[in-house]
């Protein structure tokens, strides 16, 4: 896992803990450990996959992912690159990432994910919600060409 957030290392312990949470999530995925993957989520978390499947709660997310790790996703790795971390108060943050699931080296990081992470009463950060979207570069390019005002200011 990598991070592109400028000067992220100087933003303090919350940014470090949030990065560590996503690193633990990736490590569990890479081991094919559904239970450990599910433990990174809150008990009432929501996981919306890029296919549109909605899972609720860390246990269900872990259970479903274990079935995937044992079949379709066997031997895959998850690569996540943090684009942005924004804190909203002391116990909530939104994290935008790009990443992908792959075997071997990733060709491109073609999926975006937006995580809402929260600090629990135990002080530990967990994923409360994640929404994954496949990036459609061609559709984006056509939109930007035909209507330049649709291009995000940050690009």
Of 115, 114, 152, 111, nearest to 133 by C-alpha is 111
Characterize the bridge pairing of strands 111-119 and 125-134: antiparallel
Q: Are 82 and 3 in contact (CB under 8 A)?
A: yes
Characterize the bridge pairing of strands 2-3 and 77-87: parallel
CATH number of 2-150: 3.10.450.50
| pLDDT at res. 15 | 96
pLDDT digits (tens, 9 = 90+) for 30-86: 999 999 999 999 999 999 988 889 999 999 999 999 999 999 999 999 999 999 999
Average model confidence (pLDDT) for the chain? 88
Tokens representing 99 are 């990443």
Q: Using CB atoms within 10 A of its CB, is residue 88 exposed (0-12), middle (13-18) or buried (19+)?
A: exposed
- Helix (H) or strand (E) run with residue 38 in it: helix 34-38
Q: Rounded to 5 degrees, what are φ and ψ at 74?
A: -60, 125
- Helix (H) or strand (E) run with residue 87 in it: strand 77-87
pLDDT digits (tens, 9 = 90+) for 11-32: 799 999 999 999 999 999 999 9
- The beta strands (E) that lie in the chain are given as 2-3, 41-48, 54-56, 77-87, 92-102, 111-119, 125-134
| pLDDT at res. 148 | 78
Q: In degrees to the nearest 10, what's the CA dihedral of 25, 30, 33, 36?
A: -20
Place of tokens 């809402």: 116
């Amino acid at each position: 896992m990598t991070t592109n957030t400028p000067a992220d290392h100087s933003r303090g312990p919350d940014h470090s803990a949030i990065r560590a949470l996503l690193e633990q999530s990736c490590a569990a995925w890479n081991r094919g450990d559904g239970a450990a993957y599910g433990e990174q989520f809150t008990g009432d978390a929501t996981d919306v996959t890029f296919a549109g499947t909605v899972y609720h709660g860390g246990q269900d997310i872990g259970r479903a992912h274990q079935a995937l790790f044992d079949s379709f996703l066997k031997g895959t790795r998850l690569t996540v690159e943090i684009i942005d971390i924004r804190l909203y108060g002391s116990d909530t943050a939104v994290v935008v990432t790009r990443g992908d699931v792959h075997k071997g080296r990733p060709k491109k990081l073609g999926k975006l994910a937006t995580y809402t992470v929260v600090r629990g009463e135990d002080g530990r950060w967990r994923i409360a919600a994640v929404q994954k979207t496949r990036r459609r570069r061609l559709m984006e390019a056509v939109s930007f060409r035909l209507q330049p005002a649709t291009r995000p200011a940050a690009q």
